Amino acid sequence: MPAQAAAAPSSPSRAAAASGAGYWHTDGRRILDAQNQPVRMAGVNWFGFETANYVAHGLWSRDYRSMIDQMKTLGYNTIRLPYSDDIFKGTQPNGITYANGLNTDLQGLNSLQVMDKIVDYAGSVGLKVVLDRHRPDSSAQSALWYTSAVPETTWIADLEALAARYQGNTAVIGIDLHNEPHDPACWGCGDTSTDWRLAAERAGNAVLSVNPSLLIFVEGVQTVNGQSNWWGGNLAGVATAPVRLSVANRIVYSAHDYATSVAQQPWFNDPSFPANMPAIWDKNWGYIFKQNIAPVWLGEFGTTLQSTVDQKWLAALVDYLRPTSTYGADSFNWTFWSWNPDSGDTGGILKDDWQTVDTVKDGYLAGIKAPGFAGGGGGGGGDTTAPSTPTGLAVTGTTASSVALSWNASTDDTGVAGYEVYRGTAKVGQVTGTSFTDPGLTAGTRYDYAVRARDAAGNTSPASASVTATTAGTGGGSSGCKATYKVSSDWGSGFNADITVTNTGSSTTKSWQVTWEWPGNQTISAMWNASYSQVGRSVTASNADHNGAIAAGASTGFGFGAAPGGAGTPVLSCRAG
C-alpha cells in the first residue's frame, strides 16, 4: 500500500488562512464566506453521537482537543459531526476517559453540552462544523427521515433546536438534514410521505426560520427514474426538481460515494473501469457543480483500500474532485469517511490505536485538502502566525535500516511546540527536539526528507529544504531488473498506468527502484503497491514492504493514477538491491 511521497505539503498563506469568517452563503457552484471569499470544505467525519455512546468516538483514549488539533495539523478544515435525535433527551455520554487529565472539562456534561465543547474548540482553532442528523435514534439508520418513534414533527423540532442552540456561533456553518435517504424515499414524486425533496424543503425552511444564515445540506436518494446509486448518492432529480428554500443562496447538495469494501456495484466490473467513473459521477451529482446550479459536497466517501479496485477508485475520485493547487476553492467540497478507525467497512484516517495516522489514506487526499479558516468561531482572532521555516536539515547518519536527521530550531511568536518529519509526503514522526531517526527502512534505498515546525495553536511552517539519504548496504545481491509500462485507462483529464518489475538477476532481490521522467507536465496523484517521490518531471518509485523480494526471473507490479492524460510511454530505468 502506498503513502504519497512528493514534497512535504506547504503551509497555506496567512491571507488564505484568514478566509472563512462569519456565516457562509452560496454563489452558483461556489461557497463564499461573509467577506465573499471562496472557501473549500475539506474534512473528515467524526462519528459517535449517533451511537449508543452518545458522544464522538475515541474519547476513551484521547482528549477531544488533541483529536481536533491533529485534524488541523493534517490539513483538514471541516468536521461532519453525525448525531441522532436521542441526544435531545438529556442523554449522558459513555465512553469518555478522564484519567491522566484527559477530557476533564467534559465531566458531568450531557451529550449536547459535550457537543458544545467540541464545536467551540473546533471553531477556536479554525475548523468548521456541519451537524449531520444521521439517524432518528441510536439503534439504526432509517430509509426515511421519520419513524413511528421519531415522527417528522420531532425531526423538525430538533433541527430548529440545534439552529437556535448555535445561533451566532459561526463555527457551525450548516446542518445536513438527514443521512442517506433511500428506497422507498423518492425525489419529486409528490407523495409527502416519501418525497425527500419536499421533506427537505419543509425542514430546511424551518431551520432558516430560526437562523437564516445557515447553509442547508441536502443529500440525494437511492433511486431516480429507475436508476439506482448509493444511498443518498443520487441527485439526478435536482435537474428537474431543485430544492426550494425561503432564503436564497443557502442550498448545498450532498452526495455519498463508496468503493467495494462497502458494497459491490456493477460499475466496478465495467471493462473500462475506472475510466467509466467520471460519467457516473456526472450523472448522479457532478452535473450540479459543472452546470453551476449549486455547490456540491461529497459528504461521505471511503474504503479500506485493501483491493486494487478500491485504490483505483479513490485515485480517480480524488482527481474528479479537482486538485486545490489547480482549481483552488472552485472545486467540490468533501468530508472523508471517516476519522474513526472503528468504521467496519472503511476503517479511518486513524489506525486502531486512535493515534497513528494511516498515511496511505491521508496521502491520497493530500491534493484536495484546502486551507484552514479563521479561528475564534469563524470570526477571526487567535494565533494565526506560523513558525519560521526550519533550516539546516541534514543527514547525520545512516545504517542499512535507518536514517538520522538534525536541523536548526525555528522561531515563533508564542513558541514552537514541535516538529513534523516527512518522508516524501508521509509524516513519519513528530518530535519536540531538533533531531529524529527514521527506522525500519530498506537497505540501499534512497529516501527524501523535509521538516515542518508547529506551534501550540496548530499553525505549521512551510516545509524545509529537502535532503536525500541513501541507506547503507546493497540488499539482495541481484545484478538488475527491468520495468515495463502499460496505460490501463486514459480519460483525457487523467489516466491510470501499471508497471511490471522483473528480476533479471540470478538471486532474489530485497528491494527495487524504478525511475523515469515525464515528457510533459504529468503529476502523480496516487500510487499503489509502491511508494514514490516526484520532483518536477522526475519520478522515483520504490518497492512496498510486501513486494521488495522478487525471485530470479519472477515479476511483481505496481500502479498509479496521474494527470493529465496523453502522457505517452516514458523511458524507465530499474535498479535492484
Catalytic site positions: 180, 300
Helix and strand numbers, DSSP H then E, in the chain = 10, 28
DSSP string computed for 447-490? EEEEEEEEETT--BPPPPPPEEEE-SS-TT----EEEEEEEEEE
Measured in degrees and rounded to the nearest 5, phi and psi for residue 282 equal -55, -45
Residue of 326, 197, 317 lying closest to 253 (CA atoms): 197
Q: Cβ(243)–Cβ(204) under 8 Å?
A: yes
CB 81, CB 118: distance < 8 Å: yes
Q: Positive or negative CA dihedral for 320, 323, 327, 330?
A: positive
Please, are residues 445 and 401 in contact by the beta-carbon 8 Å criterion? no
> Could you say which DSSP state residue 387 is in?
P
Q: Which whole-number Å values give the CA distances from 372 to 12, 125, 128, 452, in the listed order?
A: 8, 9, 9, 17
3-state secondary structure of 374: coil
Where is 500: in which H helix or E strand? strand 495-503
Tally of CA atoms within 13 A in the half-sphere of 552 that contains its CB: 7
Give SS3 for 406.
strand
Burial 520-534 (b: 16+ CB within 10 A, else e): eebbbbbbbbbbbbb
Beta strands in 29-151 (DSSP E): 30-32, 38-39, 42-45, 78-84, 128-135
What the block records as the C-alpha cell of 130 is 456541519
CA 538, 541, 543: angle at the middle one, nearest 5?
170
Q: What single-letter amino acid sits at 523?
A: T
